[in-house]
């Protein structure tokens, strides 16, 4: 059955940690209405939380009950309970466990990890479902989370109810997609996939381990993914690796997403990087603050993973189109006008540095990086992100364009032009020029203007 499949997906995790794992799941009647998507996410998240805080050798149980107004009528609601034998929660902290940054104040629990966004999102999903969630806990004996959800057809609007995709008479509720909740972290199951070096780098900054891993796993088939657990370390990694894209949560300890955006956009090394902010705040002021801090886009939680993938791809594609335009301008005849560089302060400095050393045949990547106070890796990533070229390749293209411009201005001495743009070997200069403009310098000079 539907729920049993979800419960059994945690079986290997229970076995690996020697946890006694029990369940009581009676068959779902034909007459109930339920949303498979939301119900799966609610149960998965409750189980993930139970396994997170249950020590090795503990116990976890899942119990499903149907609640009836009359024994002869279809059930009105279901009651789903996930019970664990973890350390439990003190009475004075019970009302805080659905808070975004709740941290159990016990040395026996994970000191660096609270309940995270999982329970907060679960509560949101339950409320969207028009249900309720409660918790009972006793320190030293464990916790029990109970969710009650409506399942009677009369409790939903007719437009919300559609036939299930199979041929059975079970019905399902349909609404807008909501945030996918992370799968349980099974040892060895979610190792980072090998990705090609030509793939774009996406930096995911999220303090909740499960959600961060979930986002990373869903992006890894398309991008190289780097992870960071908070805004401070995220900024350090962004400056170091110069990613093609950054996804950040809004609410984080040490440095929140808004401050991270501001620092990224004020830093010349990272100001070009597109940023998507994930936020649970859907009000207008929060959205405006995100955009004013430098975010290129934001997604309101609960969110749909496919939507996140599409928005990431779109922002990266926009950046690619800017690179392609810049490269077309580089390849164009100089008479078409000056090359308009991307609107980026550091890149303007890079181009100025190149132009200042355009006649220096010994000028190299190390000198470029030194003058710009960048590491070689940072220089490489910045230029590649904005142009798709290596620093040396871009310098060559700028030199060749300058040579073509001098030829168009009437300079016919090929040797003088060659040295003026930093080439020292005539054969190599002719080869590069032909690759760039399709003609060797002597042919280009004779070409009608």
Residue-averaged pLDDT of the chain: 79
CA distances from 267 to 101, 244, 346 (A): 29, 15, 9
**339 falls within a domain:** yes
Instruction: Assess whether 154 and 86 both reside in one domain.
Output: yes
Q: Do 237 and 115 belong together in one domain? A: no
β-strand partners of 201? 224
Same domain, 290 and 262: yes
Same domain, 218 and 288: yes
* pLDDT per position as a tens digit, 325-354: 777 777 666 665 556 655 567 778 888 888
Both 164 and 208 in a single domain?
A: no
C-alpha angle 325-327-331 in degrees, rounded to nearest 5: 115
Range in 38-52, 187-201, 293-307, 373-387 the model is least confident about: 187-201
Which residues make Cβ contacts (< 8 Å) with residue 129, sequence separation at least 6? 35, 38, 39, 42, 149, 150, 173
pTM over 0.95: no
Instruction: State how far the Cα of 106 lies from the Cα of 114, in Å rounded to an integer.
Output: 11
The rounded radius of gyration (Å) of the Cα atoms in the chain is: 29
Number of domains in the chain: 3
Distances (CA, A) of 16 to 11, 85, 142, 193, 330: 9, 17, 20, 23, 58
Tell me what the mean pLDDT of segment 205-215 comes to.
Answer: 83
Q: What is the domain extent for residue 298?
A: 201-319
Question: Between residues 336 and 390, which one has the greater pLDDT?
Answer: 390
Confidence of residue 19 (pLDDT cuts 50, 70, 90): very high
The predicted structure's pLDDT at residue 85: 94
Least confident of 125-129, 220-224, 272-276, 280-284: 280-284
295 and 417 both lie in a single domain: no
Domain match, 144 and 269 both:
no
Instruction: Please identify, among 319, 341, 375, the residue that sits at the C-terminal boundary of a domain.
Output: 319
pLDDT for residue 109 is more than 50 = no
Higher confidence at residue 137 or residue 325? 137
Identify whether residues 285 and 418 lie together within a single domain.
Answer: no
At 388, which CATH number?
A: 1.10.10.60
| pLDDT higher than 70, residue 180 | no
């Amino acid at each position: 059955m539907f729920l049993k499949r979800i419960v059994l997906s945690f079986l290997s995790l229970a076995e690996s940690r020697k946890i006694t794992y029990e369940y009581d799941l009676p068959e779902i009647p034909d007459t109930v209405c339920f949303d498979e998507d939301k119900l799966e996410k609610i149960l998965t998240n409750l189980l993930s939380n139970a396994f997170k805080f249950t020590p090795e050798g503990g116990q976890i149980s899942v119990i499903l009950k149907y609640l009836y107004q009359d024994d002869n009528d279809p059930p009105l609601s279901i009651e789903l309970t996930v019970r664990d034998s973890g350390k439990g929660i003190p009475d004075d902290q019970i009302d805080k466990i659905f808070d975004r940054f709740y941290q159990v104040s016990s040395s026996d629990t994970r000191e660096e990890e609270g309940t995270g966004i999982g329970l907060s999102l679960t509560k949101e999903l339950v409320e969207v479902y028009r249900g309720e969630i409660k918790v009972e806990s006793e320190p030293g004996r464990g916790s029990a989370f109970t969710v009650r959800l409506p399942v009677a057809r009369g409790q939903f609007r007719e437009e919300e109810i559609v036939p299930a995709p199979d041929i059975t008479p079970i019905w399902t509720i349909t609404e807008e997609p909501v945030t996918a909740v992370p799968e349980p972290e099974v040892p060895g199951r979610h190792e980072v996939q090998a990705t090609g070096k030509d793939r774009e780098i996406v930096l995911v900054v999220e303090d909740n381990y499960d959600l961060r891993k979930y986002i990373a796993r869903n992006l890894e088939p398309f991008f190289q993914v780097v992870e960071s657990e908070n805004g401070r370390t995220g900024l350090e990694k962004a400056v170091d690796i110069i990613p093609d894209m950054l996804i950040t949560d809004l609410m984080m300890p040490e440095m929140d997403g808004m401050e991270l955006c501001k620092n990224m956009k004020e830093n010349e090394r990272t100001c070009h990087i597109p940023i998507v902010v994930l936020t649970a705040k859907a009000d207008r002021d929060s959205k405006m603050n995100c955009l004013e801090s430098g975010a290129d886009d934001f997604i309101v939680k609960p969110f749909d993973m496919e939507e996140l993938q599409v928005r990431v791809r779109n922002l990266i594609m926009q950046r690619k189109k800017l690179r392609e335009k810049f490269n077309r301008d580089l390849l164009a005849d100089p008479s078409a006008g000056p090359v308009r560089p991307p609107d980026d302060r550091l890149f303007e400095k890079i181009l100025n540095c190149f132009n200042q050393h355009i006649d220096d045949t010994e000028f190299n990547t190390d000198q470029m990086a030194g003058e710009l106070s960048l590491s070689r890796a940072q220089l490489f990533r910045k230029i590649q992100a904005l142009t798709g070229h290596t620093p040396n390749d871009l310098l060559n293209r700028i030199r060749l364009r300058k040579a073509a411009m001098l030829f168009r201005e009437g300079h016919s001495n090929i040797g003088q032009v060659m040295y003026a743009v930093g080439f020292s070997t005539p054969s190599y200069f002719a080869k590069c020029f032909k690759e760039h403009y399709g003609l060797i310098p002597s042919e280009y000079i004779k070409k009608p203007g």
